[in-house]
């Protein structure tokens, strides 16, 4: 999961060579970046809830709670849209 977050953050950025020459404003790229992160993190959370990969319920519960990155990504997306 962390690798996918790093790939999205590194690729969907105004500072990389793909988007540096485009006319897309930085604020729009931030909204797109956070939307993509929210999408991927939501899928990771759904997979975690469906598969329950740990044998004990405490491991599954702590893993779901640690997926608070979905909430953080949603808040950051709202902030990026607001600016």
Q: What is the pTM of this model?
A: 0.64
pLDDT digits (tens, 9 = 90+) for 30-83: 888 888 888 887 887 788 778 877 677 777 666 666 666 677 777 877 887 876
Angstrom distance (rounded) from CA 52 to CA 62: 11
Angstrom distance (rounded) from CA 36 to CA 4: 10
pLDDT of residue 66: 66
Q: Is the pLDDT of residue 17 over 70?
A: yes
């Amino acid at each position: 999961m962390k690798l996918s977050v790093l790939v999205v953050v590194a690729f969907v950025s105004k500072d990389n060579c793909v988007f540096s020459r485009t006319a897309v404003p930085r604020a729009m790229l931030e909204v797109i970046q956070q939307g993509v992160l929210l999408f991927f993190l939501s899928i990771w959370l759904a997979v975690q809830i469906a598969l329950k990969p740990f044998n004990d319920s405490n491991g599954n519960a702590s893993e779901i709670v640690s997926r608070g990155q979905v909430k953080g990504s949603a808040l950051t997306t709202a902030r990026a849209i607001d600016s």
